[in-house]
């Protein structure tokens, strides 16, 4: 198993967490996003969207963190991570879609504008992020996990950019349910932190 990786990427962090939690050994190849390595011909062949993570599992190439989480959970994990039941799998997908849209274009972008000095309207991104946090808080104020009654890949998909959001100058102080959930994720067997994660143990 090979992970095309960039240390500061929250999307890569999802995969590093999942691989660790499933006990899968892997090697990494760094794709220097700040050096524009993701636009090399070699990498564009792997992912024309020029994004990390990408995995190569014995020749099977997969892009997109949500797709990779599904693959790893179903191939190497217990069915609890991503079950077959139509209603359960759909409930998880609601949060995977949230991680791909609101979390990535809100939470992650708020951080990218600050730490990578990306161009964009920070106030608009913060507003989008706060709405996303409100919806997460509404769920987590009286549930332990985002989907179902247990940890699933929905939690792994949403965790990194939520835990990192204060780097984007969006405070988590108003969200006690989310803060408790972050600690719950960080207490899972096999959890690994990343540099800069404000709540990393």
Considering only the stretches 1-9, 31-39, 92-100, 170-178, report the one whose residues sit in contact with its own copies under the rule CB under 8 A: 92-100
Size of the site for its own copies (CB under 8 A): 32
Write down the least CB distance from residue 132 to its own copies, Å: 9
Write down the least CB distance from residue 55 to its own copies, Å: 10
Q: Which of 29, 32, 80, 94 binds its own copies (CB under 8 A)?
A: 94
- Name the phi and psi angles at 62, rounded to 5: -130, 140
Site for its own copies in 23-52 (CB under 8 A): 48-49
- Name the phi and psi angles at 68, rounded to 5: -70, -40
d(CA 67, CA 147): 17
Contact track, its own copies, 125-144, x by CB under 8 A: ---------xx--x------
19 binds its own copies (CB under 8 A): no
The angle subtended at Cα 127 by Cα 121 and Cα 129, nearest 5°, is 100
71 binds its own copies (CB under 8 A): yes
Considering only the stretches 15-23, 26-34, 79-87, 163-171, report the one whose residues sit in contact with its own copies under the rule CB under 8 A: 79-87
Distance linking the first and last C-alpha atoms of the chain: 26
d(CA 127, CA 60): 39
CB atoms within 10 A of CB 200: 14
């Amino acid at each position: 198993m090979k992970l095309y990786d960039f240390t500061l990427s929250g999307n890569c962090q999802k995969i590093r967490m999942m691989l660790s939690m499933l006990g899968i050994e892997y090697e990494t190849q760094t794709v220097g996003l700040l050096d524009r390595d993701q636009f090399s011909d070699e990498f564009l062949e792997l992912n024309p969207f020029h994004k990390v993570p990408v995995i190569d599992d014995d020749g099977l190439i997969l892009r997109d963190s949500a797709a990779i989480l599904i693959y790893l959970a179903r191939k190497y994990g217990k069915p609890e991570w991503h079950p077959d039941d139509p209603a359960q799998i759909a409930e998880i997908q609601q949060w995977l879609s949230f991680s791909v849209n609101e979390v990535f274009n809100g939470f992650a972008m708020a951080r990218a504008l600050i730490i990578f000095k990306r161009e964009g309207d920070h106030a608009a991104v913060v507003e989008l992020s706060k709405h996303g946090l409100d919806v997460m808080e509404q769920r987590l104020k009286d549930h332990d996990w985002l989907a179902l009654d247990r940890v699933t890949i929905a939690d792994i998909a949403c965790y990194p950019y939520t835990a990192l959001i204060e780097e984007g100058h969006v405070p988590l102080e108003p969200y006690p349910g989310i803060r408790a959930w972050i600690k719950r994720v960080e207490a899972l067997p096999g959890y690994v932190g990343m540099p800069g994660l404000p709540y990393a143990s």
